[in-house]
Chain A
Amino acid sequence: MQKKLYMTAGYNTVSLGTGRKEFNPKKERPGLEHYISEAGKGVVKQIGDADKIDETVIGNFMAARFNKQAHLGGFAGLVDDKLEYKPSLSVEGACASGGLSLVSAMRSVLAGTAEVAISIGVEVQNTVKAIYGADILAGAGWFQNRKTGHAYFFPGQFSDRAGVYYEKYGFDYARAGMRQWFVNAIENARLDPDAQEHHNATPDLAGLYDKMKPNGKAFVDHLNVLDCSKVSDGASGILVSSELGLQKLGIDKSQAVEIAGWAQVTRNITKDPVDPVELTTIKKAAEKALNMAGITIDQVATVETHDCFSIAGVLSVEALGLAGKGQGAEYVAAGNTARNGAMPMNTTGGLIGWGHPTGATGVHQAVTIWQQLTGNAGQAQINIPANRPYGMTINMGGDDVTVVAIVFKRG
């Protein structure tokens, strides 16, 4: 890289939706404006003065349909008057929109048009019932496939992948891994007060999971609802800064993370995945980002991966090279991805446990890694060994179509 890039001053709102005690689908809830504003102000508060921010990038997927609101760049001024009359734009790449907003901010800093840029990811999805939300989220796929797709389009896509995985490697074998993925997600979410599943007090999570057999008549053939991330409202914000920017902000490097490597890779949306039991785009993006950082996955202390579905969690373990093909389920079932395992993943719950406000997720992942590497993760803090000072995020849009992979290093 031409110059060093850092991230700092991350902030998450609560991920609001079913599971949170304060969530009531019948009552009016905070809107898009609230979330953008809260996340942005949460960042600005840590640096004292928004004047030091040169550019705003908002990552969002489908506010145009969920909230009938486009043109989100125009909301920068709502965060702080000092962001008005500066560059501000929104970017979209389905559920990778948050990751794209980070990448967009990084490019501005690399290009030298900004020293400090704020990236805010946001999505407010509880405005419609899940059955209509499924229509909106299906926009992450190729619309020409919508007619033949499932009512719950994306669960349908990943159910198909799970079905092939069951066939190839065995149903019980696969479910054991997916079950452990779910259990880890909830247990980690309980440690983060902002997580959607923070209040989840179910004593026997594995037992609950086993009770809920996939039922194609009511939902999709190969997944139950516990295999899926929920419908969430939320936003996250973080600063992308140059070294000079950090000095201007007066933030010590110990309170920042350095971007060691990154990749943004996209596959052809009009084609079916080459291999239903491989997340090929994630695999390519992860390799590229690790190469750029000049490290191997063993040097990474923790990964935030895009588990919109438990099967995506298992497959991403394989795509990252942590387990061989078909061995991801076993790797997860053995506890390797748990917070005390060989490779702690999604330490604040990930998409299944923390929540999945689609356009915010990529930014939320970066905030979590920033928290972990700087010792700001509170109750959810894990140990970062000195010989593995790296963290990594994998943010996926659509069915492995747009992927943003970032490798972070302790500052």
Chain B
Amino acid sequence: MTYDERLQQVAVLGAAGKMGSGILLLTAVEMADISLKPENKGKTFVLNAIDLSDEGLAGLMDYLRVQVIKIAEKKTVWLRQMYADRAHLIENYEIIDQYVNDVLRLVRPTTAMETAYRASLVFEAVTENKDLKVKILKQIDENNPNNAWYFTNTSSVPIHLIEAEAGLNGRVLGFHFYNPPAVQKLVELIVTPDSNPDMKQFALDYAKALRKIVVASNDIAGFIGNGHFMRDALYGINQALELAKNRPFYEAVYLINKVSQDFLVRPMGIFQLIDYVGIDVVQFIMKVMNPHMKDENLHSSLLDQLMEHGVKGGQQSSGAQKNGFLKYEKGSITAVYDINKQHYIAVEEFASSCDQELGALPSGHKPWKAAVRISDKDSHFGPYFEAMKQADNLGAKLAVKYGQNSDAIGRKLVSDGVANQDEDVNTVMLTGFFHAYGPINKYFA
């Protein structure tokens, strides 16, 4: 089966979800582009968009239409060539309309999982729950006569476990997109010792067609991305709890969030990132990873407690941030959760005294937005972190320790055999988490 043939019958499971909808969009566009090639004229391409929620699928189709229009507008020069033989498609808008139609006509939104029985390729993006994933993939494969390949988007479950329990014999691999898949360039690719080499090659070709950066991760729970993020988050939580021994909890959260964002020049502070991913999701991923970890306990009672309080973070269907550790109004942080009193304390009540305690940002500081665009990162971050190490204030001291710990997490991922090399860890954090510099560096030595 050629690359093009493999993409003639595809299914996406969990297609209306946050990750599934992005995977569906990218795959639909890739399939449509292949279908436009002269040698594929007359062939049928089908993309089954499978989800439990009818409402979600309706929303998915709206999302697809809007996104495909944007994609088409950006490649109209190419589309005019593809539709050169269609005499009645003259103006750009006519060509764009036709392309949107050609993408959408491939997609079959459905709640019927049985439609995956005819697929040659199945993307799995259901809830991060191993047993559920296994159950669904097993059922599909038992009914699918095509020796289908399964690409799971799991961010934490070891692939060999899914492979063994669902009886997939080398026909499943981890193809982990970052959120949102349509924007994020990174894909973590995880294979098992039994993985079919043709399937791996197909995965690389498919990633290339989607213009993704592929980082191979070994098949250890959490892989590289969550391997770093979960430990980094746990460190931030524990640092905050440490600080909370001498001051209110909410102040401690504020301090660590600020240190990890401003002092460390990251796109968001660690507590905002946990809220963004979802406290429930972080708790769940730790739970998935923890049994596979030797000599460490990837668990936070604080997250359990927040969940009991119903504080979950995550996003509204509109994309707006829900409250978690922090409270958000129009995207800005306005308050911090007080775990004892179980309500939010306005930032303005304590921010200035906290800021004073942290002290000034080290000299040469550039905010993340500007720093991320610098081409010669070393010449900026070298002196910046040097100044940080010299600075005698709480913020700088916490940040240096934080940076050292982040570096250590990265190096451990390599020594544990999760990542093949330092560079892979850094690529994941730079492209998947938009860090301005890799966690493995010389700045905090």
Contact = CB atoms under 8 A, between A and B. Distances in A.
Interface of A: 129, 131-132, 134-135, 138, 143, 146-147, 150-152, 216-219
B92 A132 contact: yes
21 contacts: A129-B73, A131-B73, A131-B92, A132-B92, A134-B92, A135-B92, A135-B93, A138-B91, A143-B90, A147-B87, A147-B90, A150-B80, A151-B76, A151-B77, A151-B79, A151-B92, A152-B77, A216-B77, A217-B78, A218-B77, A219-B77
Contacts of B78: 217
Given A143-B90, A152-B77, 5 more contacts: A129-B73, A131-B76, A131-B92, A135-B91, A151-B92
A147 B93 CA distance: 12
A134 B90 CA distance: 12
A151 B80 CA distance: 7
Contacts of A132: 92-93
Contacts of B80: 150-151
Contacts of B96: 131
A365 B87 CA distance: 40
Closest 6 CB pairs of A and B: A135-B91, A151-B76, A151-B77, A147-B90, A135-B92, A131-B73
Nearest to A149: B80
B275 to A, nearest CB: 26
A217 B91 contact: no
Interface residues of B, number: 12
A131 B76 CA distance: 8
Nearest to A128: B93
Interface string B308-327: 00000000000000000000
A364 B73 CA distance: 32
B202 to A, nearest CB: 26
Contacts of A217: 77-78
B91 A146 contact: yes
A151 B79 CA distance: 9
Given A129-B73, A218-B77, A219-B77, A146 B93 contact: no
Contacts of A131: 73, 76, 92, 96
Residue among B79, B87, B96 having the largest count of chain A Cβ atoms under 10 Å: B96
Grouping DSSP codes into helix (H, G, I), strand (E, B) and loop, the A interface class, with mixed when no group exceeds half, is: loop
A219 B73 CA distance: 12
A138 B76 CA distance: 15
Contacts of B79: 151
A150 B79 CA distance: 11
B266 to A, nearest CB: 28
Contacts of A150: 77, 80
Interface in B291-311: none
Nearest to A218: B77
A14 B90 CA distance: 34
Interface string B70-83: 00010011111000
Interface in B252-284: none
Contacts of B76: 131, 151
B333 to A, nearest CB: 24
Nearest to B70: A129
B77 A146 contact: no
B281 to A, nearest CB: 31
A178 to B, nearest CB: 21
Contacts of A216: 77
A223 to B, nearest CB: 13
Nearest to A216: B77
A44 B278 CA distance: 62
A383 B340 CA distance: 76
A208 to B, nearest CB: 16
B412 to A, nearest CB: 41
A9 B141 CA distance: 80
Nearest to B77: A151
A374 to B, nearest CB: 43
Most chain B CB neighbours (cut-off 10 Å) among A132, A143, A219: A132
Contacts of A134: 92
Q: Which of the listed residues B79, B87, B92 has the most CB atoms from chain A within 10 Å of its own CB?
A: B92
Contacts of A151: 76-77, 79-80, 92
Interface in B85-141: 87, 90-93, 96
A217 B79 CA distance: 11
Nearest to A144: B90
A365 to B, nearest CB: 29
Contacts of A152: 77
A150 B95 CA distance: 12
Nearest to B81: A151
A143 B91 CA distance: 10
A371 B381 CA distance: 52
A151 B93 CA distance: 10
Nearest to A139: B91
B37 to A, nearest CB: 17
A68 to B, nearest CB: 14
B11 to A, nearest CB: 33
B90 A146 contact: yes
A129 B72 CA distance: 13
A271 to B, nearest CB: 20
A217 B91 CA distance: 18
Contacts of B91: 135, 138, 146
Nearest to A146: B90
Contacts of A147: 87, 90
Nearest to B79: A151
Contacts of A129: 73
Contacts of A219: 77
A219 to B, nearest CB: 7
B88 to A, nearest CB: 9
A217 B80 CA distance: 12
Nearest to B89: A147
Contacts of A218: 77
A146 B77 CA distance: 13
A135 B95 CA distance: 11
Nearest to B88: A147
Most chain B CB within 10 A, of A151, A152, A217, is at A151
Contacts of B90: 143, 146-147
Nearest to A129: B73
A134 B93 CA distance: 10
A109 to B, nearest CB: 40
Nearest to B73: A131
Contacts of B92: 131-132, 134-135, 151
